[in-house]
A and B are shown apart, each in its own frame.
Chain A
């Protein structure tokens, strides 16, 4: 059946995203969620176990969780593609997914005959795809309520799989579980009231029988949390507020934000979660939330079994620049840092501050802070009050540095890869009313500025590599454009790093040197998706998949809509 006749695709196409004073609104969504089945019999009936997900770290044929493995390395052991062979990589096929909306996702691939891809995009549209034929096997569109408010587009960054289910967060701050073989809804759980400004856009992660999911709404005065749901039933197992009451003055805790709006990293050895945490609320007025606002803009470590807090490491104390630390954390087991005499597990974080932080996974103690990935000008200087009539462009701007873009880590080379923006912005603070479900910034952010700070190099973004042991910036490739860079990276263990750009290019870098080894132009629209890779033992090819299309925040973030899933291949 042609995709034009797919009712779920039609429902996604009929859904439009409008930018309003309060952010983005999703209009025209179906009244009830829609599943459209094409050829569901083609999906192998083999339930995915947690052991499969753990083993997928070494299995070149699997990509079973958002970050490629629980440690979120985004590193495939598939070895057909190497620095020597990547020049022969070719487009295998392009699939139009039908909904020209936000395209920030990372697909998953469940191995089998055929391997099945689970691919999602805005607005809460997910498909099962036969990766060999490029055929859609089922598709599903969630019925997003029209009163959802979103800071930054109708994003959905991916799904999780376990057993016979696929799990997707929903824009109205929920999680929906679908039957992985049929696309039919199994359960839905709301994790918070979307009318208060909560939403959900990230890929959840499943472990220990739980679906682990966070919170978004950091521009709407919500209070951040992380929640574990029973993977079978959707019942809540535990919930932890990211900020404890005693870290804030009085009722300011109610609008503390500090949301966890990207996927948590799982430590299966120590039963811990390491999660990124965003800005405090309101974004720019620190006078109503005095103190360092600990537990915002940093890394939160929780006990996986109970949700109890273990430690927090803060990257931007008392933040007034919207310096979320949103990108997923890299967990590096058995890490050695000779100059600190350290041996143990490490957690690496890239945040909007543009540094890479290497932390002791047991304590949250900083072992090393890297050289900045991009320029830091007027950084950590208090923004002016709106009455001052003063301007102070600062860098990184409020989009970072490294915003949500997931980094990658190659354990063979010992290098971590990032995608960062390098553009100034201005902000002013002022006292603002809080009104439930409405924007609560406590100020103004200006994206288009008259005069960049002195010393600005005019490069808008960069891809680079940092050594988490020494903190050295090993290489950096500036990416010039009128638009911001978005989307994450994938690396092969053999030493090739892939990423898309805002200029529509897919690029393969030499992981060791940063040399460009291969480039492919998909056209003029931006690439906001995060690539992934797998090997198919039947076709004896290694594949790289990436979603093409703009998305996101601010005028230059969108850079055009598209609806393509591009799959590249190289034969063994």
Chain B
């Protein structure tokens, strides 16, 4: 289960996963608090995977395009609260573009990464989402100074930043079931030609969910409540943070930026994990509108 609040249980799971003592942090620890406490040792495997990704992709990515679209995307994310305030998209014949506008630059980022073969490269070089890999990712993410700054820029407050990481760590088993195509059982010859790479599913799926918010909310206006809109706001924001993190890592590869190789892997894995966990949440919060959840009908 993901949560939008830091609960005691959630904090305990997070601190256990990070291997830090519960007494070393407060009830609702911030990322900075966690960073001060977590071990500083880097997993050498992360570094080697990151180096391999850089070797493979550094010449294939367009740093200028990534930088400009990422900037445009971050400007759009900053508008998300306006979109939430607008509520249901207006339109007599079809919905106005609210959420679709938010993700326009992200689609251009995605298309470039697809064209460059970025996702196939990640599929080749990164392991599946085992609980251990997710936990190590969390270690690296917490220690990534730039993550906190990046999330600040996207409008995440201290609580939300911790929740984002907590929800990844605390859903490591769920995430492990999103199998990358290369990790299929070894005793079976699988034809995975049509299954997209894991990170592509993470980023592309998140964008599809956000993209369809306009028509979903507009068509289902009679069912939609303020609570659904509020929950959707968080789910969308979290998914976009995941997408942003993947794109930020891609830019780092393209311009040989400041992330260490292990932090690069953490950003890619963490970004994908955040995008996936919150895809599963937006189904429940916004799209699967049960009788209990719906806005009551005035006619019955």
Contact = CB atoms under 8 A, between A and B. Distances in A.
A255 B195 CA distance: 9
A541 interface: no
A524 to B, nearest CB: 37
Interface size class of A (residues with CB under 8 A): 35 or more
Contacts of A471: 297, 299-300
Nearest to A316: B288
Interface in A225-283: 247-252, 254-255
A499 interface: no
Nearest to A387: B177
A63 B287 CA distance: 40
- Residue among B195, B197, B209 facing the most chain A CB atoms (10 A cut-off): B195
A249 B178 CA distance: 15
Given A247-B208, A366-B222, A290 B201 contact: yes
A131 interface: no
A291 interface: yes
Given A252-B194, A317-B216, A376-B290, A287 B178 contact: yes
A157 interface: no
Nearest to A291: B208
Nearest to A433: B190
Contacts of B222: 340, 366-369
Interface stretch (B149-157, B248-256, B276-284): B276-284
A555 interface: no
Contacts of A431: 177, 179, 184
A153 interface: no
Contacts of B93: 362-363
A42 interface: no
B216 A434 contact: no
Nearest to A367: B222
Given A288-B195, A288-B201, A367-B222, A470 B209 contact: no
- Residue among A247, A255, A433 facing the most chain B CB atoms (10 A cut-off): A433
B297 A380 contact: no
B288 A380 contact: yes
Contacts of A362: 93
B145 interface: no
Interface string B180-213: 0000100010111111110011101110110010
A415 B287 CA distance: 28
B283 A252 contact: no
B220 interface: yes
Nearest to A369: B223
B204 A376 contact: no
B218 interface: yes
B201 A249 contact: yes
A364 interface: yes
A372 B193 CA distance: 40
Nearest to B275: A290
B94 interface: yes
Given A365-B221, A470-B299, A249 B280 contact: no
Interface of A: 247-252, 254-255, 287-288, 290-292, 294, 311, 313-314, 317-318, 339-340, 362-369, 371-372, 376, 379-380, 382, 385, 387, 431, 433-435, 469-472
| A-B residue pairs, 6 tightest by C-beta | A290-B205, A291-B208, A250-B196, A380-B288, A249-B204, A470-B299
5 contacts: A251-B193, A290-B205, A290-B276, A362-B93, A434-B194
